[in-house]
Each structure stands twice: as structure tokens, then as C-alpha cells.
Amino acid sequence: MEEPRPVSLPDRARYRFDRTLARSTGTLMGWLVITCLAVVVPVSALLVWTDPGSPRSLPGRLTAVWRTSAETLRLGAVTGTPLRMLLSALLGLVALLCVSTLVGVITTGLADRLAELSRGRSTVIEEGHAVVLGWSDQVATVVGELIAAQAAHRPRAIVLLADRDKTEMERALALQTGPPGRARIICRSGPASDPDVLALVSPRTASTVLVLPSGEPTADAEVLRVLLALRAVLGEGTDGPPVLAAVRDDRYRAPARLAAGARGTVLETDTVTARLIAQCVGRPGLSVVLRDLLDFAGDEFHLADSSAFHGSPFGTVLLGHATSCLVGLLTPEGRTLLNPPADTVVAPGSLLIVLTGDDDTTRPEDCGRLVDQAVIVTDPPPPDAAAHLLLLGWNRRAPLIVDQLRRTAHPGSVLHVVTDRAVPGPAREPETAAAARLTVRFQSADLSRPETLLGLDLAPYDGMVVLGPDPGDGPDRPDDRTLVTLLAVRLLEDRTGREMRVVTELIDDRNRPLAPLNPGSDVIVSGELTGLLMAQIAQNRHLAAVFDELFSADGSTICLRPAVYYVRPGSEASFATVVAAARDRGECAIGYRRHDRRATLPDLGVRLNPHKGERREWSAEDQVVVVASEPAAPAGPCERDTEELRVERRDARPQQQ
């Protein structure tokens, strides 16, 4: 057995000292006094003995040492009899104890108050502020757009409540949104589903309340609890601010609407994202148009007064503004009419839905004189051909995307799905009217292997959709797999010399510049577009119905169509001429996309709401951005097909191969 190592003298001394300090506070104070005396007294004696002006006698020098030590320790400097010196020292100790206690109390109180403020648990006393509840990928977009919306108006406070550290939230927002300008951002920490905590942000006096879903699997249930807590704070009546919430799963949309009450609007983020991806498949550049429409940096939708046009047909009003583009009407009954027939009469009490820079930029002006009828094309456009599409990857939004493609595809179209999971589709194609328009074929392949991607034959396809896995489905971040797939597609394009129209979904907007895509492709950042949409509706809740129809599979939607459908190629014409030509086809023109190989991000040649008098030479490759009515899918039992896909998504997540 190995003999114990002898303990050194310094180790023993250190151990005894530690045991002594651990006994009590009095022991600690005693050691502190001994240490101070051991330093102060010898140094004071050295100062006296080295001072030429010090007393010559030993008692005088000892008295000088006492006075110096007492003044250093603030024990008093009274000299005389030992009793007087002892009383002076006692009085100094008492004074030192009282002053130290007072300083400690003040320091502790200030520290506690600062800690309470840093925890973000104080009540917000504001009116007309915007309240954002929850933390998610959309929070920076929502807060940034609210700041931009207030830039031209009286700035209001933006209050954020989330179950995160207040300092971390402030640091993250400052990093992602930049300086807030004149707006004030106030962060509070705590669970928004607790009514007592929710009351800290004063939702009763807010102008609007936004509830964001987190990235957790239980995000939708948490949104429902927050809405119920908000209902408990605001009460059951209709008074109070409008509430805008977002959920991911359609199963929670109806309960969330009930919890939000009459003042609430609920968005389903997965459905919105799926609709946008499906719409971008056949309309290259549409994602840029949507981002321009939804952010507050340029032109956006507003409601304008229609008193100057009462009794006039909608077709006439389309040319009634030089700096705004009309897209629809809000009737006195609250109904939203997007792209109504040209003979629809503007009734008193209606509001115009216009695309313009701000609320005060819509001024009536007759632009009919700017129309050149000689260059307008009257021949009907050729019918759209069937498309052959490729879908790479699968996630929880994929069934919704397939459903949207079924509803909007032209007869004879084919969708080839390649996924590294078990075949997620139904065993056989359902015999429905929608299925007759689009044939869906599934194939399982390991998309994580480069040889699988590089072995694809892109020649038969007109377009491609690339989806990444859901967060948490693998060790990598979802965008990592997407970027690898896009690299392989770009390499195939270089080999074949043929560019593919690619629509891809990214989770993080910071990865957008990294995506190796050609100019004809689109990137949908799901969190960003959802955040932009929520910010728009938060500023005007009447726009919810406008965007709901624009992003739906039926009704009016945004399209990019060749300019040769409206004006003769090579002719010079004003934008008012394009508006008149689109009106004759039952559409509302709101902008154009010029064909320019040099066009790069962020606009890719897109120009929305140009002046009606702007003249340019229109080429055959230019496109016009219009709000047009898409033909509805034929009636049939297609809801069963949709439900099959949704049930598959909910209850039977494909297993990894």
C-alpha cells in the first residue's frame, strides 16, 4: 500500500486559514482587523520614523504613529490618556460600522432594482403601442417592418414580451434590425400565456397585438394559450385592439379563431408558404414582387377615399390615378372585391384598394389621355401548356404544395416527386377532377448522396421545387441540405447549358445570398414572408382578406405575363397604355419586370406602381405584373384528396430509409 504523501507547511497553513474563515462572520471580521493592523501600523511607524519633522521623543513618535493609523482607519485621532484614545477608537469603529451598513443597504437596493429592471418585469405605461407576443424567426422581420411603417408617422413604442432574457432580446433585435430610429423598442421577459405577466405590457391600450409562433413542436398550442390569456386580460367584449396570430397547423386555426374572438385574425403559416411556393413555380420573379409588395420600403396596399368616383365604373377608375394602381374595392358592407368586372359601379361609402407609396399619395388624376390605342394588342393570348415539374425533398409543407399545384395546374401536367423518405403519397392517384389536371409520381432516392443528385436528368422538366427537411429531422440545419441540393442543380445546369426555373424554400434569410441560383429562380424564406404579411395586416386589418385571396389557389392572384400580351413588341408606350390593355383583358396592371441580364438582386428588374405617364420601349421578353382572376378548379371530390395528404402529414410521418 502506498504511503500517504506528507503535507507541507504551506498547505497546512492554508487549510487552517480556510477553516477559520468558514466559522463565522465575526471570525472573518477579526482576521480583517488583524490584517489591516498588520499593514497599517508598520507602514505608519515607517512614515513617522522617516519624517524629519517628527517628534524626537519615543512617546511623541508613538503618538504620531497612533494618529496616522487612526486617521487611515477612520478611528479618530484623539490623543491623551489611554481611556480617551480607547473611546475615540470605539467611536470610530461604530461610525465605520454604521457608514458601511448604510452603503451596503443602498448598494443592495440598487442592485436588486437593476436586477429587476434587467429581468423586464416592470409594467409598461404606454398608449397606442404595438405589442408583439412570443419569439420566433419572424420577430426581427415583424419588428423591423413595424419600425419602417412608423418612419413617416408619429413614432410609437413597440413592446415585445417573450419568455427569454430581456438583455438577450434587446441584443438580438439590435443586431438584426439595426437602429430603431425614432421608434422605441421595449422588451419584457416572461411567459405570455400568464395573464398576470401579459398585463405588464398593457394590451388594453395597445393599437395592435401580434402573437408569433415559436419554432418548437408545441408552438401552435402555445399560441392558443396566449390567445386565451389575452382574452382573459381584455375581456369578452369587442372593445380592444385588433389581434393577429399565426399558427402552423390547420388543426389549430379554428380553435385559435375562437380564442381570438371578434377582434382577431389568424393566419396559417404553412398554408401561406405552400401557396406562395406553388404560385412561384410557373411565374419566375414572383417572389421579388411579393417581397416588394409586403415590405414597407416601397409601395404597398392602402385604402383610399372613393368620393371622387362615386357612380363611376371600376374600369374608368383604373385610369383615375397617376401615382397609384387600383386593384379592388372595399364595399360599405365590408366585402373585399379584388379585380372586379370593369362595369362594377363604385358605390358611395366604398374604399379603393390601391398600390401606392403612402396614405396621402393617392390623388385623383385622369390618365385616359396617356393611352395610345394604336399599340394595344387585341389578339387573345395562346393557351398555357401543360407543365412537367420536379420536386426534390419533402417536409410538412410538401402535401400542401402538392395540393396547391393540383388546383392550379393545366390539364396534362406531371409532378415528379423525389424524396429520401418512404413514398409519402397515396397508394394510387385519386380519381378526381384535380387529379386529372396533375399526375403526381413518387420516387424514393437518397438525396444526401451527390451521385443521386448529379444523376438526375433535367431535360424533361419545365421547373423545379427544392424543399429542405423540417427543423429537428436531422443533425444538420435544414438550409444546409437545401444549399447542397442547389449546388448539384447548378452543376447540372453548367453541364447541360440549360437553366432551370427553380423555386426553393429557405428557413434563414441570411442564407439567401448563399443560394447558387440563376436570375430566373425564386427563393421563398417562409419566416420572412410570414413576418412581412403579419406586419402589413397589423397596420390595416382590412388587408387580411386582400392577401388571403391573392395567395389562394382560386380567385384573383398576382401573375407575371409577357408584355406582348398587352402592347406590340418594340413599340414605345406609356404605362397607362398597359393598364388600359390589361383592363380590356379583365386584369389590373400594377407594374412590370424589364428583361435585363444585368438586373441583380434585390429587385431583379421589377418595378411596381410606375407613374402612368412613364414611357418606355417594351420588348418581347418584358413581363407585366397584373392582378388577374385564375380559373377555379373544376368541382369534384378533391377535398378527399387534400384530406388524404393532410392526414398523411399529421399522422404518418415518413420513416427515414
pLDDT at 85: 64
Decide which of 34 and 147 is more confident: 147
Predicted confidence (pLDDT) at residue 3 exceeds the cutoff of 50: yes
Predicted confidence (pLDDT) at residue 155 exceeds the cutoff of 80: no
Percentage of the chain exceeding pLDDT 70? 80
- When pLDDT is cut at 50, 70 and 90, the band that residue 150 belongs to is confident
Predicted confidence (pLDDT) at residue 573 exceeds the cutoff of 70: yes
**Residue 11 vs residues 8, 16, 20, 22: alpha-carbon distances, Å:** 5, 9, 14, 17
- When pLDDT is cut at 50, 70 and 90, the band that residue 574 belongs to is very high
pLDDT at 643: 36
Contact 575, 611 (CB under 8 A): yes
- When pLDDT is cut at 50, 70 and 90, the band that residue 224 belongs to is very high
pLDDT at 576: 94
Predicted confidence (pLDDT) at residue 577 exceeds the cutoff of 50: yes
* Grid cell in block for residue 535: 406586419
Out of 106-115, 135-144, 499-508, 603-612, least confident range: 106-115
pLDDT at 117: 60
pLDDT at 91: 57
**Range picked from 91-105, 252-266, 274-288, 409-423 for highest mean pLDDT:** 252-266
pLDDT at 321: 92
pLDDT at 88: 63
pLDDT at 97: 66
Q: Region of 655 please: left (phi>0), alpha (psi -120 to 50) or beta.
A: beta
Predicted confidence (pLDDT) at residue 237 exceeds the cutoff of 70: no
DSSP notation for 188-236:
EES-TTSHHHHGGG-GGG-SEEEE---SSTTHHHHHHHHHHHHHHHH-S
What average pLDDT does the segment 233-251 reach? 83
* Grid cell in block for residue 577: 397604355
Look at residue 86 and give its three-state secondary structure: helix
Out of 195-199, 218-222, 427-431, 650-654, least confident range: 650-654
Q: How many CB atoms lie within 10 A of CB 252?
A: 20
Per-residue pLDDT tens over the stretch 526-555 = 778 888 888 888 888 888 888 888 877 677
Contact 502, 483 (CB under 8 A): no
Task: Indicate the DSSP class of residue 160.
Answer: E
- When pLDDT is cut at 50, 70 and 90, the band that residue 580 belongs to is very high
pLDDT at 238: 62
User: Rounded distance, CA 592 to CA 609, Å?
Assistant: 9
**Range picked from 95-99, 149-153, 439-443, 504-508 for highest mean pLDDT:** 439-443
User: Rounded distance, CA 246 to CA 471, Å?
Assistant: 18
Per-residue pLDDT tens over the stretch 302-353 = 888 888 899 999 999 999 999 999 999 998 888 888 999 999 999 998 999 9
pLDDT at 166: 85
- When pLDDT is cut at 50, 70 and 90, the band that residue 636 belongs to is very low
User: Rounded distance, CA 66 to CA 73, Å?
Assistant: 10
What predicted TM-score, i.e. pTM, was given to this entire model?
0.72
pLDDT at 649: 34
**Range picked from 6-10, 124-128, 230-234 for highest mean pLDDT:** 230-234
* Grid cell in block for residue 615: 414611357
With CA atoms as reference, report the closest residue to 231 among 207, 263, 206.
263
Instruction: Give the chain's domains with CATH numbers.
Output: 39-111 (no CATH), 130-262 (3.40.50.720), 283-380+555-630 (no CATH), 388-529+642-651 (3.40.50.720)
Q: Are strands 555-562 and 208-211 parallel, antiparallel or unpaired?
A: unpaired
Per-residue pLDDT tens over the stretch 174-223 = 888 877 777 788 888 889 999 999 988 889 889 899 999 887 878 889 99
pLDDT at 510: 80
pLDDT at 653: 34
pLDDT at 640: 35
Percentage of the chain exceeding pLDDT 90? 18
DSSP notation for 534-570:
HHHHHH-TTHHHHHHHHTSSSEEEEEEEEGGGTB-TT
With CA atoms as reference, report the closest residue to 520 among 560, 558, 479.
560
Predicted confidence (pLDDT) at residue 475 exceeds the cutoff of 50: yes
Decide which of 431 and 463 is more confident: 463
For the chain, what is the mean pLDDT?
80
Q: In what order do the strands lie in the sheet with 336-338?
A: 300-305, 351-356, 325-330, 336-338
pLDDT at 120: 61
